[in-house]
Amino acid sequence: MMLDKQILRIPGPTPIPPRVEHALGQPMIGHRNPQMGELHARLKPKLAKIFGTKKDVMILSSSGTGAMETAAVNLCKSGDEVIVVVTGAFGERFADICDAHGLTTYRLEMNWGTACTPEKLKAFLREHPSVKAVFMTYCETSTSVLNPIKELTDTVRSESDALVAVDGVSCIAGVEANMDDWGVDIYVTGSQKAFMLPPGLAFVAASERAREAFKKNDHSRFYFDLNKYAEKIENNSTPFTPPVSLLFGLDEALNMMMEEGLENVFKRHRLMSNMTRSAIEALGIPLLTENKYASPTVTAVKPEQVDAEKVRKILIQDFKIYVAGGPKHLKGKIFRIGHMGYCSPADVFEYIAALEVAFKKAGANIELGAGTKAAQEIFLNA
């Protein structure tokens, strides 16, 4: 077994393109040097495109969760009432963050594996008419559900003045964000998922309404006070020392996305999801979510005939292919394939063929090649 070749198909961290690896190794520069200002000036228009906003996107030194907490403490203060849409483990995390800061948190709980619908959110908003903000998850990585952010944001807008805060960590840069058009107030994401970067950077895009809320909010915070970041990024800077090497990498990762064309990036992700799902279905293995809720960036497989953990272990032992297990009560019941960022249809053929072997070895009654064939047909018909 070749020990060096790890094939990372977990929903983050994800593989890094050689071009980005190369960029990460550039010589260090001072974070107050003019070169840093030039770097921010190059990053800003590209980041703005990814988020679909005219405003400058703020960059934090943090993982995604830090950006989630940052959103909560900048929009709200202790005692504020908020709704958190909980479609899985990451929705729960958003709710736990709100609880930790003394917000009055109303959880709109959905069955794990389904998305929130506008009707459910509308009814819940009517039960809780004085909420300051609604927190939701775009791609619920724990179940591979994509929530309909446009429709949910429309619903909040038509029912209340609440701010809309969205965790887009595991899908932004792989799916459209359309911040300004959809009226989302704050999007947060991290670098290690669809952005093709190592962990360590987080991004926060904020609307004018959100910025007004930051200014008025006196909830205690210092390092992650977004007022500081908003002011500094206007002058192509950050309030504190950023992970400079990651910013070099970000510049190159964004160049790659711009060269491919964002529309094509989004199409590629949807295609990989369709190929993966058709392959698993053709093998007679159930998926956790229905097609209408399917995320373009991650797929949860629920192999009822065989142990999910056994399949996962065979993939590692025989092929060094890593997929993720199930979170919380889904542990041992599902595994999750990440197909985002630096991942192509050719990679889908690789993991589907390997999965067929793993299912067979685990004792599933499947027909070798049936999944690969289904994925090939989706590719040919795309």
Ligand X SMILES: *Cc1c(COP(=O)(O)O)cnc(C)c1O
Residues found near ligand X in the complex (CB under 6 A): 12, 63-65, 90, 137, 139, 141, 167, 169-170, 190
Q: In the complex with ligand X, which residue's Cβ is closer, 62 or 153?
A: 62
Which tokens go with 181?
A: 């058009």
Give min distance, CB of 9 to ligand X, in A.
15
3-state secondary structure 20-45: HHHHHCCCCCCCCCHHHHHHHHHHHH
Give min distance, CB of 21 to ligand X, in A.
20
User: Is residue 34 a contact partner of residue 270, using CB atoms and an 8 Å limit?
Assistant: no
Distance between CA atoms of residues 372 and 189, nearest Å = 33
Q: In the complex with ligand X, which residue's Cβ is closer, 139 or 301?
A: 139
Give min distance, CB of 125 to ligand X, in A.
22
Give min distance, CB of 27 to ligand X, in A.
28
Helix axes 64-75, 226-234, angle to 10 degrees: 100
Give min distance, CB of 95 to ligand X, in A.
12
66: exposed, middle or buried (C-beta count within 10 Å: 0-12, 13-18, 19+)?
middle
Q: In the complex with ligand X, which residue's Cβ is closer, 24 or 340?
A: 340
What are the two backbone dihedrals, phi and then psi, of residue 72, each rounded to the nearest 5 degrees? -65, -45
CB closest to ligand X, residue no: 64
Bridge partners of 187, per DSSP, are 166, 205
Q: In the complex with ligand X, which residue's Cβ is closer, 53 or 141?
A: 141
Q: In the complex with ligand X, which residue's Cβ is closer, 15 or 64?
A: 64
Q: In the complex with ligand X, which residue's Cβ is closer, 139 or 162?
A: 139
Distance between CA atoms of residues 152 and 116, nearest Å = 8
Give min distance, CB of 2 to ligand X, in A.
28
Rg from Cα positions in the chain: 21
Give min distance, CB of 63 to ligand X, in A.
3
Residue 219 CA, chain-centre distance (Å), reads: 27
Q: In the complex with ligand X, which residue's Cβ is closer, 188 or 375?
A: 188
Beta strands in the chain (DSSP E): 7-8, 58-61, 81-86, 104-109, 133-137, 139-140, 145-146, 163-167, 186-190, 201-206, 298-301, 321-322, 335-338
